[in-house]
Amino acid sequence: MNEPIKKKLLIVEDDEDILFVLTDFFESHGYKVLTALNGLLALELLEKNEFPNLVLLDMMMPIMNGWQFRDEFVARYDNECPIIVMTAAADAKKRSEEIGAAAWVAKPFNLDNILKLVKKFER
Amino acid sequence: MTVRHEEEITKAKIGFGSLDIDELNFKHIFEKVPSPYLILDLNYNIVACTDAYIGITKSERSQILLRNVFDVFPDDPNDLDARGSLNLKKSLDRVKKTKKTDIMSIMKYNIPDPDSVNNAFLERYWQTSNFPLFDDAGELVFIINYVDDVTSFVKIRNKANSTELANLQLNETRIFLESILDNIPSIVFVKDAKELKYLKVNKACEAFAGAPQEALIGKTDYDVFSNEQAAVFIGQDREVLASGKNMDMGEEEMDLPTGKRIIHTIKVPLRDQNRNNLYLIGISEDITDKVELRKAQIAQKASEEMLKRKNQFLDTAAHELRTPITSLSLLIQFAQKKLERGLPLKFDLLERLKRPAERLNRLVIDLLDMSRLERGQLVLIRQKTDIVDLITKCVEDFRIQAPRRKLNFETQNREMIIDIDPVRINQVLSNLIDNALKYADQSKIDIKLEEKVNGVRVTVRDYGPGIPKEQHESIFSAFSRGSSDATIKASGLGLGLSVCQGIINLHNGIIGLESVERNGSAFYFELPKTIVKK
């Protein structure tokens, strides 16, 4: 079998329902999906797995939030892996700029839209 | 007998010139003339003088006759302004030149004091006239010098002048002070120290009181203000006078016919050298406008702060609401996509839909509670409640909801009745347990009830990641005050803890957090056993 190499997504999100839907959705579109409920778990996951082609990142999470995760992520890997911010905050744009994200989506969002964004920015 | 008359003088002159009459007899007559005369030759040597002259110049005839008048009466060496001899010489010179009588203005010409051992001089002022004396040929031969001692007159005049000058200066000073007093914007009043009646008020005071000077002078505060207010002012006055020191009365409210005013007064006692009180001076400033401006500024700042908080609250509330809405929205999209692709929907999807819906409901309730708390409209319905029973039931509910989590309830008491709102306390406890389940994933949770001296303490302890120390304070006010970027970034705990704090505060209790980072959190609340009814 000559299956094409699957693109890998890391989704960091503390809401289990959102994780559940996003995982099912992106897997049905041929992605390999890694999930973490907070930044700390995401970093642990990265130590054991291959590097993702893109990160979907929630900002407000317990234990380690999006800002802290992004700082650690950059410090540890010095990788230009694009990040797309998913946020329910009123100032979504400002937040994505703060962490130098490639793009942002405001919660609640449309699944087809986020798929377009992922395809646009993935490496 | 007089020699002043020119004709007679002329006859005398003839007598002197020819010496053919009884010289001694004539000289004797001249010397007895009761006015002070001196006869000088043209070199100003003293030829003759009357007894009266000797008397007023305190000299002796034998010592002055045939001597130069300026040798006999030199200028006072101690008087640097002495011009007596010079003035006299000028006058005599004029007589010689013009051959006419010369009347001098009053001049100072001190004389040697014969009683003095150290050549002192006596202060003297003179009214002097010099007359020419001609011989038969019409030639000037002698000059008659008439002097009158006007010292006492001059002294009286000088004294009068200086008093007048002093009065004049005093008057100028008074005008000066009054013009300052009337033109400064501060209110100034002067009362007498004894009866505390108004003696003087300035224009600013008239304007402030809305009454002219005349209506205030001679009145006391009892005539001007209400009895109550007057008693206060008079009391202050007496205190100031007794202390002998300036006193700052601070800000005071005053009722005036023109309305309420706020003044700031400093009272000053004025005493004489013997420390007797003379006057009480009051200096006041009408600070009504200033105070109102200050109040307006404070109110504006508070309303700006309120607006800022409100906006932050709305932002955070919107954020909290969007999260479960996102879950609902995504779950519905998920179902749609499955149906589009002809795939079956599993039963657990419906179960999943319940959770965000529950959360939305919870948030709306919290928002309402929060709003009621902020407006003071959240009312407790207290009743005697067994707190042991309340906690037991609450923990039981959570065990059913989260069957895989380990929840322990530990207490020494079998029953503990306290006066609380059981529904609200259950809400607080549920919130704390819910947070522990959510944020301390997989950790066991210990709930503990302890009896304290005056109350009970309930602790909900987890063994999760804990909460950083710097967030301990803001965590309870995440919505009402905090809402700073740091709080939003850090907690995400929502309204729950703010509402908990509000409820515990209403019970006169305390709520807090003991947490060690990476070693779990222990949220606790304490409730008093006996509730003091207010």
User: Which chain B residue lies closest to A92 (C-alpha atoms)?
Assistant: B319
Residue closest to B96 by CA, chosen among B56, B140, B63, B57: B140
Chain-chain contact of B492 with A90 (C-beta, under 8 angstroms): no
Question: What pLDDT, on a 0 to 100 scale, did the predictor assign at position B281?
Answer: 93
Place of tokens 């704390």: B432
Taking contacts as CB-CB distances below 8 angstroms, the residues of chain A near B346 are none
pLDDT confidence of residue A3: 63
Q: What is the pLDDT of residue A113?
A: 94
**Which residues of B fall within a CB distance of 8 Å from A70?**
none
DSSP B169-222: HHHHHHHHHHHHHHHSSSEEEEEETTT--EEEE-HHHHHHHTS-HHHHTT--HH
Mutation target to probe the A interface, by most A beta carbons within 10 A, among B323, B331, B438 is: B323
Predicted pLDDT of residue B79:
81
Chain B residues with beta carbon closer than 8 angstroms to that of A61: 492
Residue of A nearest to B329 (CA): A108
How many other β-carbons are positioned within 10 Å of the β-carbon of residue B101?
15
Minimum Cα–Cα distance from A66: chain B residue: B489
- Would you say the C-alpha torsion B501, B504, B510, B513 has a positive or negative sign? negative
For residue B526, what are the β-bridge partners?
B457, B510
- Which of B315, B327, B465 lies nearest to residue A63, judging by beta carbons? B465
**Closest residue, chain B, to A38 (C-alpha):** B439
**How many CB atoms are closer than 10 A to CB B115?**
8
**Cβ–Cβ < 8 Å for B52, B149:** no
Residues from chain B that touch A14, judged by Cβ atoms under 8 A, are 492
Contacts 24+ apart (CB under 8 A), B192-199: B192/B278, B192/B279, B192/B280, B193/B241, B193/B269, B193/B270, B193/B276, B193/B277, B193/B278, B193/B279, B193/B280, B194/B277, B195/B220, B196/B220, B196/B221, B196/B234, B196/B237, B196/B238, B196/B280, B199/B279
Query: Which of A2-6, A9-13, B410-414 is predicted least confidently?
Result: A2-6
Output the CA–CA distances (angstroms, integers) from residue B398 to B361, B365, B402, B453, B503, in the order listed: 18, 19, 6, 30, 21
Task: Find, among B510, B469, B476, the residue nearest to B496 by Cα.
Answer: B476
pLDDT category of residue A61 using cuts at 50, 70 and 90:
confident
User: How far is the alpha carbon of A19 from chain B, nearest alpha carbon, in Å?
Assistant: 9
The answer, for A102 touching chain B at a CB cutoff of 8 Å, is no
Burial class (CB in 10 A: 0-12, 13-18, 19+), B14: middle
Task: Mark yes or no for CB contact B488/A60 under 8 Å.
Answer: yes
Residue whose pair of structure tokens reads 């309420």 in the numeric block: B260
- Integer Cα distance of B446 and B440 in angstroms: 12
Residue B431: strand, helix, or coil: helix
* d(C-alpha A94, C-alpha B392), whole Å: 46
Number of Cβ within 10 Å of residue B164's Cβ equals 10
pLDDT recorded at residue B20: 52
Contact state of A111 with B337 under an 8 Å Cβ cutoff:
yes
Distance CA B224, CA B234 (A): 12
By C-alpha distance, the chain A residue nearest B491 is A62
Cross-chain CB nearest to A88 (options B326, B355, B489): B326
Closest CB to B330 among A21, A59, A90? A21
> What per-residue confidence (pLDDT) applies to B384?
93
Q: B488–A20: do the CB atoms touch at under 8 Å?
A: no
- The verdict on a CB contact (< 8 Å) between B492 and A61 is yes
* A57 min Cα distance to partner chain B (Å): 13
- Mean pLDDT value of segment A108-117: 94
Q: Which residue of B has its CA nearest to A59?
A: B489
Q: Are B107 and B94 in contact (CB under 8 A)?
A: no
Q: Do B319 and A60 touch (CB under 8 A)?
A: yes
Alpha helices, DSSP H only, in B375-405?
A: 387-401
Looking up tokens 């009051």, which residue turns up?
A: B282
Task: Give CA–CA dist B69/B530, Å, rounded.
Answer: 120
Q: Are B355 and A17 in contact (CB under 8 A)?
A: yes
Instruction: Please state the φ and ψ torsions of residue B270, each to the nearest 5 degrees.
Output: -115, 120
Q: Do B441 and A37 touch (CB under 8 A)?
A: yes
In this prediction, the answer to ipTM > 0.90 reads: no
**C-beta atoms of A14 and B465 within 8 A:** no
How many Cβ pairs closer than 8 A exist between chain A and B? 72
User: In chain A, which residues have their Cβ closer than 8 Å to the Cβ of B356?
Assistant: 17
Q: Distance (Å) from the C-alpha of residue B333 to the closest C-alpha of chain A?
A: 7
Chain A residues 26-65 with a CB less than 8 Å from chain B = 28, 37, 40, 59-63, 65
Partner B, chain A 70-89, Cβ-Cβ below 8 Å: 88-89
Which tokens hold the place of B103? 């009347």
Q: Where are the beta strands (DSSP E) in B87-160?
A: 102-103, 107-108, 111-112, 121-122, 125-134, 140-149
Q: What is the pLDDT along chain B (534 residues), one digit of tens a residue?
A: 444 444 444 444 444 444 455 555 777 888 888 889 999 999 999 999 999 899 888 888 888 889 999 988 888 888 888 888 889 999 999 999 999 999 988 888 888 888 888 878 888 898 899 999 998 888 999 999 998 888 888 888 888 778 877 887 888 888 888 888 888 888 999 999 999 999 999 998 888 888 888 888 999 999 888 898 899 999 999 999 999 999 999 888 888 777 888 999 999 999 888 889 999 999 999 999 999 999 999 999 988 888 887 787 788 778 888 888 999 999 999 999 999 989 888 888 888 888 888 888 888 888 888 888 888 888 999 999 999 999 999 999 999 988 888 999 999 988 999 999 999 999 999 989 988 887 777 788 999 999 988 899 999 999 887 777 777 776 776 444 333 443 343 334 457 888 899 999 999 999 998 876 677 889 999 999 864 443
The crossing angle, in degrees rounded to 10, of helices B6-18 and B23-31 is 140
Chain B nearest-CA residue for A91: B315
Cβ contact, residue pair B326, A21, below 8 Å: no
User: Could A108 and B356 be called an inter-chain contact, meaning their C-beta atoms sit closer than 8 Å?
Assistant: no
